[in-house]
Amino acid sequence: MKAVFDTKPTSIYDDDQTEDYQFPRRYLNTVRQCENDWVVLRRPRADGGNLAYFAVARIAEVEQDINNPYDARYA
């Protein structure tokens, strides 16, 4: 495993924990290094939650989100 992805219910990103993870362009090189590998999903303490590692996921591919004006991507 090469990365831990944080995800929370109040995220500004369009995450779907069962399908994809949206992230800003600044993480593109790091996420590309995770293609065809496994990552850990973590819920941070933000918003008063408890820190929890709750899933693993395989990054099949990285795609550009053409509907996002901030050049976000999906993994």
- 31-42 pLDDT, tens digit per residue, is 999 999 999 999
pLDDT per residue as tens, the chain (75 positions): 689 999 888 888 888 888 999 999 999 999 999 999 999 999 988 777 789 999 999 999 999 988 887 789 999
Angle 29-8-28 from CA coordinates, rounded to 5° = 10
C-alpha–C-alpha distance, residues 50 and 70, integer Å: 29
pLDDT at 16: 85
C-alpha–C-alpha distance, residues 54 and 65, integer Å: 25
